Structure 1
Amino acid sequence: MAIWVLLLLLLGVPAGSRALPADGSAALLEEERYIALTFDDGPRSGTTDRLLDGLRQRGASATFFLVGEQAAANPALVQRMQAEGHQVGNHTWSHVRLEGMDAAPALAEIQRTDEYLQQLLGEGDYWLRPPYGLIGEQLEPQVPVPMVKWSVDPRDWESRNTQAVVRAVLRDAKPNSIVLLHDIYATSVEAALQVVDALQKEGYWFVTVEELLRLNGVTPQAGALYRTGTG
């Protein structure tokens, strides 16, 4: 057994997980490979819980951008995400396209989900992923939290094909990638777990988006849109 695995077990940390450096400004070692899986449109009973089971078994963290209506219908899944160390974010209340909307109704969609998460999970910054990755330039600076897009998109919602999604992610993934998936599809959940298995064998560590930015010395700014772990 590798020495670091033995130390982790002695400390009560699962062997598939890893304590992250306390100093986010420290340079990453060349051999370290970090990547962020992100999931949109959930939570959904029957798929999100299966995903959470699989991530826990593998010691992998992820970021979930929740549609408020879905979160309100599945509060226990949202609480479980937080309890198991995942990052919880905002995907508007009803999955509206923010680009082209007037500021007032757009901000109301964001605020409604934020208020629900604050009540359910406690005070915090629940980062935003705009639906479809689109938001107007005039609205961006009014968003009070960092925003997250992606650098790898296997279009899992389109193919609904597990192996096609796995191939697309493994083809495009590289250190500091942010991968877009949807936990409302069983095919995407299975693909995500296969991706974790494959990339962990290559030395990748699965972290939240917030952790990914911190590991690269990036200080997230409200109203800024991040596509990779380096900015």
Structure 2
Amino acid sequence: MRKKLLCLCAAVLLDLCFLGIVCRLAVGMQWEDLAKVEQADQTDQTVSSPECFSGGELALTFDDGPHRVYTKKLLDGLRERGVKASFFLVGENIPGNEELVRQMAKDGHLIGVHCMAHVDLARQPIEKSVEEIRETADRIEAVTGKRPEYIRPPYGSWSTELQEKVSMTPVFWDVDTLDWKNRNTARIVKHICKNAAVHTVVLMHDAYQTSVDAALETIDTLTAEGYTFVTIEECLID
């Protein structure tokens, strides 16, 4: 009797073990299938996600000009495409390049102050920074007849004290192309397109051929994607 009972218990245990194995296999298959589905969904999203979002407005901004060679090429390219941009000028670069500044104004580009020289405005005496800003604004007004209202502080360095002393609107950026550093047209275009979004402010410099080429190629590429290009003023108003 005892032997029969032991045999019966052993048989039940074997059945339970077999059932457990089957259940684990079934559950494992379900999780594996689910993982495959999720992986497929993620793959589909990656493949179908465009590098440039469709539509929107971008403000292309250019620092450190005017440059007697490259600013002229950029202005001519923008005129051909009917595109307006924003230029933040270095005061020291204006003498001898007045005609370029006049062309900027005539074509409807926004002209703002960068500085007399490329210095960190927040790291020098406030009086000196204010004087440099005003002198640059004076030079722009003498050429265009209009007082600039916007400033792009070098390095994005600004302070509450400067804001109180200077009645201008500081302009920063959303996308830094680092075009002055990599000087690679394809890389600059790819970076802008990858980060394009509504009301994106793009920082560039009109002192390099690669930057000019990248700006014009970006315009052609994103215009086909449904983008429009605006000045900083238009961007802020919208």
Instruction: Note whether the superposition's TM-score is higher than 0.5.
Output: yes
For the residues of structure 1 that align with 2:177 and 2:193, how far apart are their CA atoms? 10
Quote the residue 1:59 is aligned against. Answer: 82
- The answer to whether 1:110 aligns with 2:152 is no
Alpha-carbon deviation of 1:43? Answer: 0.7
Quote the residue 1:130 is aligned against. Answer: 153
User: What is the letter of the counterpart of residue 128 of structure 1?
Assistant: I
For the residues of structure 1 that align with 2:113 and 2:233, how far apart are their CA atoms? 14
- Structure 2 residue ranges without an equivalent (≥5): 1-53
For the residues of structure 2 that align with 1:131 and 1:73, how far apart are their CA atoms? 22
Pair member with larger Rg: 2
User: What is the letter of the counterpart of residue 167 of structure 2?
Assistant: P
SS in 1 for 2:204: strand
For the residues of structure 1 that align with 2:73 and 2:149, how far apart are their CA atoms? 23
Quote the residue 1:195 is aligned against. Answer: 218
User: What is the letter of the counterpart of residue 221 of structure 2?
Assistant: A
Query: CA offsets, 1:190-228, max 9 Å, x none?
Result: 00001001110111111100011112xxxxxxxxxxxxx
Structure with a larger share of its residues in helix: 2
Distance change (3 Å), C-alpha of 1:125 and 1:42: closer
- The answer to whether 1:98 aligns with 2:125 is no
Q: Is the 8 A contact 2:113 2:148 kept in 1?
A: no
For the residues of structure 2 that align with 1:155 and 1:200, how far apart are their CA atoms? 22
Structural RMSD (CA): 1.3
1:43 to 49, 52, 66: 66
For the residues of structure 1 that align with 2:224 and 2:67, how far apart are their CA atoms? 29
Give the number of equivalent residue pairs: 185
SS in 1 for 2:120: coil
User: What is the letter of the counterpart of residue 77 of structure 2?
Assistant: G
Q: Is the 8 A contact 1:67 1:94 kept in 2?
A: yes
Alpha-carbon deviation of 1:32? Answer: 6.1
Q: Is the 8 A contact 1:67 1:113 kept in 2?
A: yes
SS in 2 for 1:173: coil
Q: Is the 8 A contact 1:100 1:136 kept in 2?
A: no
Q: Is the 8 A contact 1:40 1:182 kept in 2?
A: yes
For the residues of structure 1 that align with 2:58 and 2:185, how far apart are their CA atoms? 20
Q: Is the 8 A contact 1:66 1:92 kept in 2?
A: yes
2:209 to 177, 182, 186: 186
Alpha-carbon deviation of 1:120? Answer: 1.1
User: What is the letter of the counterpart of residue 200 of structure 1?
Assistant: T
Query: Share of identical aligned residues, percent?
Result: 43
Quote the residue 1:20 is aligned against. Answer: none
For the residues of structure 1 that align with 2:81 and 2:146, how far apart are their CA atoms? 28
Query: CA offsets, 1:76-132, max 9 Å, x none?
Result: 000000000100010111121112211100001100001111111113333110011
For the residues of structure 2 that align with 1:63 and 1:76, how far apart are their CA atoms? 17
For the residues of structure 2 that align with 1:124 and 1:115, how far apart are their CA atoms? 7
Quote the residue 1:153 is aligned against. Answer: 176
User: What is the letter of the counterpart of residue 164 of structure 2?
Assistant: P
- Structure 1 residue ranges without an equivalent (≥5): 1-30, 216-231
Query: CA offsets, 1:51-76, max 9 Å, x none?
Result: 01111111111000000111223110
User: What is the letter of the counterpart of residue 123 of structure 1?
Assistant: K
Query: CA offsets, 1:127-177, max 9 Å, x none?
Result: 110011112332222221111010011111110111111111111111100
